[in-house]
Amino acid sequence: MASICWALLLFLAMFSGLATSHTHGDDNPTLRCHPDQAASLLQLKRSFSFFRYPSALDSWQDGTDCCLWEGVGCSNSSGYVTALELSGRGLYSQGLDPAIFNLTSLQLLDLSLNNFGQCNLPATGFERLSLLTHLNLSTSGFQGQIPIGIGKLANLISLDLSVLYYAASDDSLNGHGTSIPGVTSWLCLQEPNFQILVGNLNNLRELYLDGVDMSTSADDWCDAFANSLPNLRVLSLRYCNLVGPICPSLSTLHSLAVISLQDNFDTSATPPREMLMYSYNLSFLQLAWTNIQRGFPSRIIQYKN
C-alpha cells in the first residue's frame, strides 16, 4: 500500500513537473498578439483613410496575430507590440488617434511621410510611450505646438520631427527663401520651448527639428542643447528661425559629428571657432544661408568629411 502511495506521489510529482516545464518552456515561435494591443491597432487603422494605397494595412485583420501584421513588431518574450513602422504608407487621418498611446511597450514609432491633415499633435498621450527609443514623425503633416509629453521620453535615442523640404539634393539650396512645396503648416516650440523639450532627453544621439519654428524661443538655444544632450551626434536645425549665436559650449559635445544649421537667417554672426577647434569628431557642418558663414573661410561652410 505504501509503495503504491509512493508510486502515485512520484507520478504526480513527475506529471506536475512536466506540466510546469510545458508551460514555462513553451517558447512558441508563433507570436501571439495581446487582444488589447490588436484592438488599439485596429482602432488606429479605422482612423486612417487610404487614398493613395487602398491596400495598405490589408494584413491588419481582426482575429489574426497582430505581431505578423505589416509594419508591426512584437517582443519575442512578452508578445507586446514594440515597433510600429508605417513610413510612407499613404495614410491620411485628421489627427493622430489616441488609441496609439495604449501601445505602451512601443520602442520604435515611425509615422513619417504620411498625412495627418495639418492637425495638432495630441496634447497628451506621448508621455505614456515611456519606452520609446526612436520616434519619427518627419513630414507627416502635423502642425502647432510640440507636446510636452515628447520631452518626457527619457529613453529616446533618436527624435525626428523635421520637414523634409529639400526633397531632392543640395542643388535645391538655390530655392532658399521659397516655401516648401505642399507644406502649409509648421510645428513650433513655444510652450514648452526647446529648453524644456530637450531637458530630460539626455540619451538623445540624433535630433532633427528642421522646419520647426523656434523663433519665439530665447537666444540661448545653443547652451540648452549643449547642457542637456551630452551624447548628441547629429543636430539638424535647418529652417528653424533660430535667433542667437552658436555657443562655445557646443564644443564640449565630443560625440557631435553633424551640425546642420542652414537657412537660419537671423543667427548671430559670431563664428564658433572653439567648436571647430575642439569637436574633432565633426564630419559635417552645414551653415549655408546663415549669417554665420561670413565668419568662415568659404570651404568650411559646406564641409563634408
Residue 206 and residue 225 in contact, taking contact as beta carbons nearer than 8 Å: no
Residue from the set 176, 248, 254, 288 that interacts with ligand NAG by CB under 6 A = 254
Residue 217 makes contact with ligand NAG by CB under 6 A: no
Count of residues binding ligand NAG (CB under 6 A)? 21
Residue 301 is a binding residue for ligand NAG (CB under 6 A): no
Using rule CB under 6 A, residue 124 touches ligand NAG: no
Closest to ligand NAG by CB, 39 vs 276, is 39
* Residue choice 67, 72, 133, 206 for contact with ligand NAG (CB under 6 A): 206
Sign of CA dihedral 279, 284, 267, 137: negative
- The nearest distance, CB 201 to ligand NAG, in angstroms, is 14
Stretch that binds ligand NAG, among 3-11, 39-47, 55-63, 123-131 (CB under 6 A): 39-47
Comparison of 31 and 243: residue with beta carbon closer to ligand NAG: 31
E-only strand ranges, the chain: 72-74, 81-85, 108-110, 119-120, 134-136, 142-145, 158-160, 187-188, 206-208, 234-236, 258-260, 284-286, 302-304
Shortest distance, CB of residue 29 to ligand NAG, whole angstroms? 4
CA-based nearest residue to 105, from 86, 63, 77? 77
Spatial separation of the C-alpha atoms in residues 148 and 183, rounded to whole Å: 23
113 binds ligand NAG (CB under 6 A): yes
Asked if 29 interacts with ligand NAG (CB under 6 A), we say yes
Binding flag, residue 236, ligand NAG (CB under 6 A): no
Terminal-to-terminal C-alpha distance of the chain: 86
The residues, any chain, with a CB within 8 Å of residue 166's CB and separated by 6 or more, are 172, 173, 175, 238
Contacting residue, 114, 133, 136, 228, with ligand NAG by CB under 6 A: 136
- Calpha distance 29→6 (Å, rounded): 38
In whole angstroms, the minimum distance from the beta carbon of 18 to ligand NAG comes to: 24
Q: Are the C-beta atoms of 305 and 281 separated by less than 8 Å?
A: no
Residue numbers 155-194 binding ligand NAG by CB under 6 A: 158, 160
Q: Smaller CB distance to ligand NAG: residue 51 or 280?
A: 280
281 binds ligand NAG, rule: CB under 6 A? yes
CB atoms within 10 A of CB 106: 24
By CB under 6 A, is residue 43 in contact with ligand NAG?
Answer: yes
The least distance separating ligand NAG from the CB of residue 193, rounded to whole angstroms, comes to: 22
Tell me which residues in 57-76 interact with ligand NAG (CB under 6 A).
76
Q: In the β-sheet with 206-208, what is the strand arrangement from edge to edge?
A: 72-74, 81-85, 108-110, 134-136, 158-160, 206-208, 234-236, 258-260, 284-286, 302-304
The three-class DSSP label of residue 2 is helix
Residues that bind ligand NAG (CB under 6 A): 29, 36, 39-40, 43, 76, 87, 99, 102, 112-113, 136, 138, 158, 160, 206, 208, 254-255, 280-281
